[in-house]
Structure 1
Amino acid sequence: MILVVPLVLLQVISAFIFYEAHWDKVSKYLARGLAGDVGALVDMIRNDPSEDGLTRTFLISRQRFNMAASLRKGEILANNENIVEGSIPDPFLLSALDERVGLPYHILAPADKKTLTIEIQLSDGVLSVTALRKRLFSSTTYVFVLWMVGSSMLLFGVAIIFMRNQVRPIRRLAQAADAFGKRQNVERFKPEGAREVRQAATAFLKMKARIERQIEQRTHMLAGVSHDLRTPLTRMKLQLAMMGEEDDIKDLRDDIQEMEHMLEGYLDFVRGDGEEEPEDTNISQILTSIVQGIKRKDIPIDYENVEDVHLQVRPNAFKRCVTNLVENAARYGTHIWLSLEQRNEAIEVTVDDDGPGIPEDMREEVFKPFFRLDKSRNIQTGGVGLGLSIVRDVVRAHGGDIQLTTSPQGGLRARLRFPV
């Protein structure tokens, strides 16, 4: 649009100016010239109507004016009014004849001929003048249109080439930003293009480096925290194991187990799967393995799938994402329905249950880290409030999204949508 709209406007304005100014003036001059030649012949015949005078007049008309003229003596035009038969190339010819000749005339202009005939009513007969049509036509029209269109197309082609060269780095920057958002490798991206585009690309690379550095620092810190906490927890478990089976000891063991469970949840949420590379994965096989694991726990589950559905994902992250949803459905419901559908531009994984569901006004809140519907924080009635946060994080890292709705089975429906 940036290129086409100015060119079209330029064409329209140029054509308007040309036809309104140049074309009108040239057409008037040509029509007046032809009408003036016809008027000159009329004056010459009036001045010397003899046979010798007519012969000289017709010779001058043929040699000087490039027109064939003849006089039909004693004839009268069929109609004393001005008549035009056919189509004349220039409407200015009529007014020019009225101005330069001032006598009744007929114009015979058949469309299949290159000439036109003007018949003038004189006192002693009818003067017939045959002239070429091109006397009323200027070839500069075609030349002007050809130059205007040709130069515009040439400029348009050159502009397209330069514009494509400038747009290509912007597209690569957009692809790199999208790939980085999906935690894909963008090491081959480098700044190129115009100065402004290179500045944007350089800013993106600096931002990417800062984010990766922060993630790495966070991961290392949590790894150290995990190591530091596991060591005293292990010692506490060994000491409690040597103290017998008293009720207080059992409560302490449960507290330590809860701490370990919470610690694993925190680490899984913060660490993520950033080091895992995406690969072409058979989604059907992953879902089948999840279903088999659920069935081994004697949990009823129905599975509808499409065979050999492949998607570019991180296998472990994808499996953990779906497993979290299935385990949540198993925790709160008595029956699970899992389905896999492949549509035109996306792959959908749907998990339904017959549990109590989630209130509609809370369906966005449950994705917040550490948020639990059960305010008691009882580890037996749920996790630490990170399961759905991890699910959304994994899904959006793959360019998809998750939607929570009411299941037709009466519980909660979680639908994962991944673009192909």
Structure 2
Amino acid sequence: MDFKFLSKLPVPRSLLGRMLLLTLLAILLAQTLSSAIWLSQLRTTQLVGLVNSARSMAHSMNATVTYLRSLPLAYRPLVLDQMRSMGGTRFVVSLNDKPLVMDVLPTTQRKQAVLEAVDQVLRQSLGADVDLSVKFVSPQDLRIFNAGLKLDELPRSWAHFALTLEPVDPPVLVTQIQMAPGEWLYIASLLPQPYTSLEEEGLPALQLWFIVLSSLFLLMFIGLLVHWQSRPLKRLARVARDMSLGEDEVQPVEVGGGSEVVEVGRAFNTMRARISRYLTERGQLFSAISHDLRTPITRLRLRVELLDDEQLQYKFGRDLDELEMLVKGALQCVKDTDIHENIEPVDVNGLLDCLIEPYVLPHGNGRVTLHGRAASAYPGKPLALRRCMGNLIDNALKYGTNAHLRIDDNKQAFVLTVDDEGPGVPQQRLEQVFEPHFRLAGQQQGYGLGLGIARSIAHSHGGEVSLQNLRAGGLRVTLYLPRNVD
């Protein structure tokens, strides 16, 4: 199954937001499943209770039929009239000379179960061949007596108290049984509570409130827990950011939170101490190398000058030049990517103006053009940024004759693009040119470190340097520096 569509959904970026979203989805899924199971069991239980109530009602109807059959034919109408005069019973009973025709309500599962239960009990008691009909009728379509009178046309004491239940308008169960030729017993009644309406109810309001309140409380407590556990991670991220930007005094992260977070904090503090010690030792090492190598190289040059063989002198001099170039290149690489520099607001506009001033003529023409301005100072390392941007401009002028600079600055990032008019870089070499001492064919100037140093400085600021060949010819170098490093 392909789940790629999930990546397009709006998912929160924070740990708290994602935990709350996952918790909410889990709660909704669990509550939906549990509510569906509970509602299914409830409806099954209600259906069983409804069928039992219908059977009990059918036995009462059978008792009524048995009682009327025991009376002489002439006494039956008198007894029914006396019952109506006394206020009636739970049934509305009458004797008709034919079955009354009424509009029947559509059958549902519950109605069908009631009809089958009543029909089964009556046929078991009265005989399987008895002529009877059982159906549900709307109170508005109900007809009573031979004249087919409506419910509203009768005195309220005769039938209203037995067949109406305001404000509910429940269906009426009408049973008609043939007592003798030309004599039909008519029995109308409502089902007892709580099955009067026969409708399948959804989740009760109390159950819905329970689901909502329990979900809210669970989300609140999980939110507090995640917020409490994520504070040490935020402190760790802040210290890691300061360390990556080269802050001189990076304090150890305060250890706290769960056991896993505590272990991460301790490991980070150990790593911070080792990196700090390594950087210090590295600086001391290269300072010593620089000092130690200059003296023997100079001494060797003096001795080479004393040689009588010019050819041998030339070979030694060439080897010493190559050795000196390698030493200077290595020292320059370490020096230009050194992260030991304080972070402070850098006037990028002033910095670029100084870098391009030698190439801009008074009237605006020259080898370098600049479009756009930085909206505000950028928090970074001044000398490192100067080296980074200077290397990009120098490369554009060295290999592309002219350089066209553009600044795009907003609250999220500072972006500098440098376009040149050179031959560009083969597509398969776009990443390789960042490697130290790498040169394309025909390029023999410098140490081959400029782009690598620029990318290293960008990385130390949380940014990136990327290359792109232009369709019209030339190379575009993009320096991306985020303003908010998280």
User: TM > 0.5 between the two?
Assistant: yes
Task: Pick closer, same or farther for the CA change 1:75–1:321 going to 2, 3 Å.
Answer: farther
- Report the counterpart of residue 74 of structure 1 in structure 2: 96
Matches within 5 A, 1:184-203: 187=251, 189-203=253-267
Give CA deviations for 1:80-134 in whole Å, capped at 9, x if unaligned: 8x92269897663333333344541332357972543222213444222135663
Which stretch of the first structure deviates more once superposed, 204-213 or 221-230?
Answer: 221-230
Contact (CA 8 Å) 1:333, 1:411: kept in 2 or not?
yes
| Superposed counterparts of 1:12-411, under 5 Å | 12-48=32-68, 50=76, 51=78, 68-74=90-96, 76-79=98-101, 83-84=104-105, 92-101=113-122, 103-109=132-138, 113-123=168-178, 124-131=184-191, 134-136=194-196, 142=204, 143-144=206-207, 146-147=209-210, 150-170=213-233, 172-174=235-237, 176-183=239-246, 187=251, 189-229=253-293, 265-271=329-335, 272-295=337-360, 300-342=367-409, 345-373=412-440, 381-407=444-470, 410-411=473-474
Contact 1:180 1:186 in 2 (8 A): yes
Among all aligned residue pairs of Structure 1 and Structure 2, give the percentage whose two residues are the same amino acid. Answer: 25
- Please tell me the residue identity of whatever aligns with 2:378: L
What is the TM-score normalised by the length of structure 2?
0.67
CA offset digits 1:296-328 (Å, max 9, x no partner): 899621211235354332222112101011112
Distance across 2 between alignment mates of 1:261 and 1:21: 86
| Alpha-carbon separation, structure 1, partners of 2:185 and 2:478 | 98
The Cα offsets for residues 202-253 of structure 1, whole Å up to 9 and x where unpaired, read as 222222221221111101222233344567789999999xxxxxxxx9x999
Alpha-carbon separation, structure 2, partners of 1:141 and 1:239: 101
Change (3 A) 1:54 1:193: farther
TM-score (normalizing by structure 1): 0.76
Determine the C-alpha separation between the residues in 1 that align with 2:426 and 2:395: 16
Residue-pair matches, total: 403
Distance 2:374 2:202 in 1: 70
Structure 2 CA distance for aligned equivalents of residues 390 and 74 of structure 1: 108
Q: 1:65 aligns to what?
A: none
Partners of 2:369 and 2:404 within 8 A in 1: yes
Give distance in 1, aligned partners of 2:382 and 2:46: 77
Determine the C-alpha separation between the residues in 1 that align with 2:54 and 2:85. 15
Task: Tell me the amino acid that sits aligned with residue 117 of structure 2.
Answer: A
CA-atom RMSD in angstroms: 4.5
1:276 alignment partner, SS class: coil
Q: Counterparts of 2:461 and 2:333 in 1: how far apart (Å)? A: 16
> How big is the shift at 1:283?
2.6
User: Deviation per CA, 1:257-301, whole angstroms, max 9, x where unpaired?
Assistant: 998776554334224342323334343332222111433899621
- For structure 2, the residue ranges without an aligned partner over 5 or more in a row are 1-20, 124-131, 140-165, 179-183, 305-312
